[in-house]
């Protein structure tokens, strides 16, 4: 049903949903997000800097905040618990293949450009569309809300660039 709806919308010249690649851009080009942030400074801590981003944006029980059955198989901490279980979260992220783009880990320590998590946050997975498994690959995160501000995404990007450590 969804596919036929998209074909009809495209045939009518109506833009598709915002989670589709290039929706509303008019350019038809898909380009990877390029950060201009200094990724080496300031030093970024998972506990002090990244955990608050995850707690605010990712850990509802309907998303990645229930450890028994998190969305997409990725647990990012319990909603509002104040305790992230940092070691468990980091071990589930760093070096672990994502289920939707199996050629790319959720986080590649030292390289945000090869980290699936950053592509989900930057909404530029259209670059990898042919390698994605399932429709969810093209959905930006956080799902159903506005894109996180660049400064917030750069906190996560900086942590990854600095080695994605449990600090």
Instruction: Say if residues 125 and 149 touch (Cβ distance below 8 Å).
Output: no
Domain containing 135 equals: 40-161
pLDDT reported for residue 150: 96
pLDDT reported for residue 31: 87
Q: Is residue 147 part of a domain?
A: yes
Q: Is residue 30 part of a domain?
A: no
What is the secondary structure of 55-86 as a DSSP string? HHHT-STTTT--TTS-GGG-----TT-S---H
Q: How far apart are CA 57 and CA 69, in angstroms?
A: 18
Q: Is residue 86 part of a domain?
A: yes
Q: Is residue 24 part of a domain?
A: no
Tell me how far apart the terminal alpha carbons of the chain are, to the nearest angstrom. 46
**CA within 13 Å, CB half, 116:** 26
pLDDT reported for residue 70: 65
Residues 6 or more apart in contact with residue 24 via CB below 8 angstroms: 15, 18
Q: Is residue 67 part of a domain?
A: yes
pLDDT reported for residue 78: 67
| Number of folded domains that form the chain | 1
> Mind listing the pLDDT tens digit of every residue in the chain (167 residues)?
333 323 222 333 333 333 334 333 335 578 889 999 999 999 999 999 998 888 887 766 666 656 666 666 777 776 655 455 788 889 889 999 998 898 999 999 999 999 999 999 999 988 888 888 876 788 888 888 889 999 999 999 999 999 999 99
């Amino acid at each position: 049903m969804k596919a036929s709806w998209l074909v009809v919308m495209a045939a009518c010249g109506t833009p598709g949903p915002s989670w589709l690649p290039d929706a509303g851009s008019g350019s038809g080009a898909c380009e990877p997000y390029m950060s201009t942030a200094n990724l080496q400074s300031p030093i970024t801590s998972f506990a002090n800097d990244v955990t608050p981003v995850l707690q605010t944006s990712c850990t509802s029980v309907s998303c990645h905040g229930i450890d028994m059955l998190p969305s997409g198989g990725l647990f990012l901490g319990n909603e509002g618990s104040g305790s992230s279980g940092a070691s468990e979260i980091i071990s589930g992220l760093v070096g672990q293949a994502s289920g939707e783009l199996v050629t790319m880990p959720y986080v590649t320590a030292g390289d945000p450009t090869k980290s699936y998590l950053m592509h989900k946050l930057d909404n530029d997975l259209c670059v990898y569309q042919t390698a994605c498994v399932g429709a969810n690959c093209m959905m930006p995160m956080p799902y159903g809300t506005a894109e996180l501000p660049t400064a917030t995404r750069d906190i996560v990007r900086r942590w990854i660039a600095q080695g994605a450590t449990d600090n």
